[in-house]
Structure 1
């Protein structure tokens, strides 16, 4: 009986350990925006209050799981929210297999500007960086087709 209870408690704990959250500061942004060696990097910016963001998180996670030279990264733009709340949303969106970052340090507006000076802060916001250095961006909900078009037909 003790073994069964221990086994069940370990299963319940697994989803919480499936994802980790790394802080994203102004100093980290140049590396985040560096073109990948090949393929594309898809950066999905989102917040807990954003009702449409979960759809995008799921779509980006699915594209990243295809193994088609896609590096997916999620970036939470909330400030001063518990890490567990962010991880809970990532689990809900089935995006725990994607590297996850969260704004830290300077103001949200400063980080937004460093990511894309033309971005007004609307969410969800997707940045796709191609190996050749070209970038494509999109505001709003992504369909699979729209995301694949941004990623260059992948």
Structure 2
């Protein structure tokens, strides 16, 4: 009975209270994230607390994660480790704390960016779309939510 009550209470908690742990993003993290992609679409979005357009995109990710609950969406903060509390605050405030989140954990950010994408020079937001067939597309700047919705609709039925 206690187990059932605990499960019911857990399901009633708003996603903001079910914050996932922010993992340290180090050399090899992107490879670890993409390695698990096995025949499912994946979106990896890089953002920062110092990037006003990133906040708009975090709002988009919140809405899309509600419409596509099976979506594998990963957020990566490019902020220094010392900004961890602020990163967590923003994730909670924007309602995306339930999504898998990472934060740069080394000071050699150029090396990390190069490992992620040799053509990425640090502009934010930066999102990567991995299709089940292995195609990868990158978008710098705030993405067009209608294009993302159309891309996702190929793989997932929307739940409004």
TM-score range, shorter chain: 0.7 to 0.9
Q: Which structure 1 segments of 5+ residues have no match?
A: 1-13
Normalising to structure 1: TM-score of the pair?
0.79
The 5 A counterparts of 1:26-65 are 26-34=27-35, 36-65=37-66
Alignment check: 8 A CA contact 1:40 1:69 kept: no
Give the match for residue 140 of structure 2.
139
Aligned to 1:102, the other structure's residue is in SS state strand
Q: In the TM superposition, what whole-angstrom CA distance separates every residue of 1:92-132 from its partner, at most 9, and x where no partner exists?
A: 22111111000113511111111111112100001111121
Aligned length: 141
Distance in 2 (CA, whole Å) between partners of 1:39 and 1:48 is 29
Q: In the TM superposition, what whole-angstrom CA distance separates every residue of 1:4-31 from its partner, at most 9, and x where no partner exists?
A: xxxxxxxxxx956623211011122212
The 5 A counterparts of 1:47-126 are 47-67=48-68, 69-105=70-106, 107-126=108-127
> How far off its partner does 1:37 sit?
2.1
Aligned to 1:87, the other structure's residue is in SS state helix
Q: Which structure 2 segments of 5+ residues have no match?
A: 1-14, 156-160
Please report the RMSD computed on the Cα atoms of aligned residues, expressed in angstroms. Answer: 2.3
Normalising to structure 2: TM-score of the pair?
0.77
Aligned to 1:42, the other structure's residue is in SS state strand
Distance in 2 (CA, whole Å) between partners of 1:152 and 1:17 is 26
